[in-house]
Structure 1
């Protein structure tokens, strides 16, 4: 439980809001009716911690040789293909191909029209299951919804099952508070999506985030605090992994959170120091929001030379000491700490800016290609 208290203190600093452990929630929930409690889970972390730096429109100068662009760079309007989507109707299954992250429900309906001749306004797409998870850990399955189902209608279905009046329900998906008048498709809620449910107490306006009891994965914790480099080379994603020596790495529970676990390299590793197929590269990300632009600008001032500029991106580095320069500091039980996130970055989806000394900064356009999986904390 000590790790959870430390992480809650770190996240409180990073998010500029109060984050408490689940045990603290149990002791507070009946004492103060002026508070709203909201789950803080790994999905919310992914959305909230990815601080994006913005390089100004001023031209910044670097040397040609100091830019090492990774192959097949993805930009924010990338059209990565999804796996095929299957539409079932009248006992028939239709396969829809070549969808991407920007495909809308309207565009999907047009593809169905092209294939089957069903006019879009006569189509009624059904979301079979939506999962509602409350603070007690109970999960409710709400069935027979569709893309046009409003949040208010969803709340009424929860009321029918759980008896919680709609005006006392607080539904949250990622960082978004779901508004009654909007639809499930507006929030891109699809089949088997999990929505967090909190109780909005009458008259309350303050929100306290409650750390999910399954937020951490202690089995994969590794305390590097007193470990020194031994000269051995470690590889992750066929890229040198600079281990976070001097830091305590607490693992975030991310296994099975995505379509597969290959990005973590947890399967088929024959030697701990070597990469495995499909594994993503390790990087570190400082957490101080007010330093996001600084790391962006510093990345381009590593050298001087030809004219070059980039736009918005997530800035991380394979060197935790570099990330620490842009990290938040916090106090827990009278002790000063610093916190940095450990990530995996998808190969071939980021640019690299390098200095003459070998210092590197990764620039990731699309936050889907960088995933936090560890929280590194050290005393200072």
Structure 2
């Protein structure tokens, strides 16, 4: 298992919160974290400035990621709070949140032409990454079939930073002039096999290389290295919309959905089971 503090830094980077260690009960579950990562990007794209999340209250959607939260702080104007102080603090018990029994180091793994399946769909293993398993066994109703390798298993997907915003450009990249910036909904709508959804929702990819292009990075206090971080999830095949590009999947959120309904859609559609780290 990687250094505990390094993992907490990675969670902080993904969620935009200050994640700190506790010996008590974790304030959030692994499912909460994937909800927050997905919902923050979705609501930011919708033009909101804040996200309300149970047990945490109001989370800012302001983009604080341009500031390296683990480097020396920038000179601040008098009376202006630091970026760190604007983040919500979350307490996590590593023993309750991570499941080290299922950690796997893909750092030196090369699959070549080998094919792996999850739910009868190709699984692009995260070669070159180190995976810290999240504690999700016996956390959901209906058994563990979704997490297996058989026909009832959910396919694997990856979620990186700005997946929702950046993929609008990726989807039509072959049709655009260099450096063109299309409207997100227009680009997404053009990419979908079924046009009625108009691209509104949460995006992910079955291709770890695609996710890597849009992943978050942070400089660790532990060893001074800069790391890339991605969430590895399973996606409900019945909730996923197919795009023209095979490496783009959408969980559609209908217009008019309330905050509670939107959170329920994400929770029913995407389940996390690993956090991937790679030093640059």
Q: Is the 8 A contact 2:118 2:151 kept in 1?
A: no
**In the TM superposition, what is the alpha-carbon distance from 1:245 to its structure 2 partner?**
0.3
Q: CA deviation at 1:302?
A: 5.2
- What displacement does 1:2 show? 4.1
Q: Measure the CA separation in 2 of the matches of 1:316 and 1:229.
A: 22
> Structure 2 residue aligned with 1:295, among 151, 156, 167?
167
- Could you give the per-residue CA deviations for residues 279-302 of structure 1, whole angstroms, max 9, x where no partner exists? 10001111x24x531213422445
Whether the aligned pair in 2 keeps the contact of 1:40 and 1:211 (CA below 8 Å) is yes
- Give me the whole-angstrom Cα distance separating, in 1, the residues matched to 2:87 and 2:271: 29
Unaligned runs of 5+ residues in structure 2 are 47-52, 59-85, 177-186, 253-264
Shift of 1:353: 2.0
Is 1:285 aligned to residue 175 of structure 2? no
Root-mean-square deviation (CA, aligned residues, Å) is: 3.2
Quote how far apart the aligned CAs of 1:225 are. 0.4
Map of 2:115 onto structure 1: 233
Greater RCO structure (CA 8 Å; 6+ sep): 1
Aligned partner of 2:37 in structure 1 is 49
Partner Cα separation in structure 1 for residue 14 and residue 271 of structure 2: 17
- Aligned counterpart for 2:139 among listed residues 248, 257, 261: 257
Structure 2 residue matching 1:40: 3-state secondary structure: coil
CA contact (8 A) 2:31 2:271 kept: no
Q: Which residue of 2 aligns with 1:20?
A: 20
- Say yes or no: does 1:354 pair with 2:244: yes
Q: How far 1:53 moved relative to its partner? A: 4.6
Whole-Å separation in 1 of the counterparts to 2:230 and 2:87 = 27
Asked whether the equivalents of residues 18 and 87 of structure 2 are also in contact (C-alpha less than 8 Å), the reply is no
Q: Which of the two has greater strand per residue?
A: 1
Instruction: Tell whether the 8 Å contact from 1:255 to 1:261 is kept in structure 2 after alignment.
Output: yes
Query: Does the 8 Å CA contact 1:329/1:339 hold for their aligned counterparts?
Result: yes
Query: How far did 1:210 drift?
Result: 1.7
Question: Which string of whole-angstrom CA distances, capped at 9 and with x for unpartnered residues, describes residues 182-234 of structure 1?
Answer: xxxxxxxxxxxxxxxxxxxxxxx985322223101111111000111142211
- Which residue does the alignment assign to 1:370? 270
Distance 1:4 1:40 in 2: 17
* 1:339 paired to 2:239: no
Q: Measure the CA separation in 2 of the matches of 1:2 and 1:376.
A: 11
Tell me the residue number matched to 1:242: 124
How far apart in 2 are the matches of 1:2 and 1:318?
Answer: 25
| Higher fraction of helix | 2
**Cα deviations across residues 11-68 of structure 1 (Å, max 9, x unaligned)?**
1122222112236x9xxxxxxxxxxx972332421321225458x99xxxxxxxxxxx
Q: TM-score, normalised by structure 1?
A: 0.50
Distance 1:2 1:21, change over 3 A: farther
**Residue 323 (1) aligns with residue 216 (2):** no
Separation in 2, partners of 1:214, 1:251: 11
Contact 1:20–1:211, Cα closer than 8 Å, also in 2: yes
1:269 is aligned to none
Distance (whole Å) between structure 2 residues aligned to residue 364 and residue 255 of structure 1: 23
Identify the residue that residue 208 of structure 1 maps to in structure 2. Answer: 89
Aligned residues: 213
Partner of 1:222: 104
Match of 1:228, SS?
coil
Structure 1 stretches of 5 or more lacking a match? Answer: 26-36, 58-171, 178-204, 266-274
TM-score (norm 2): 0.66
Q: Note the C-alpha offset of 1:364.
A: 1.2
Deviations 1:250-284 (A, max 9, x none): 1100001110211101xxxxxxxxx4132100011
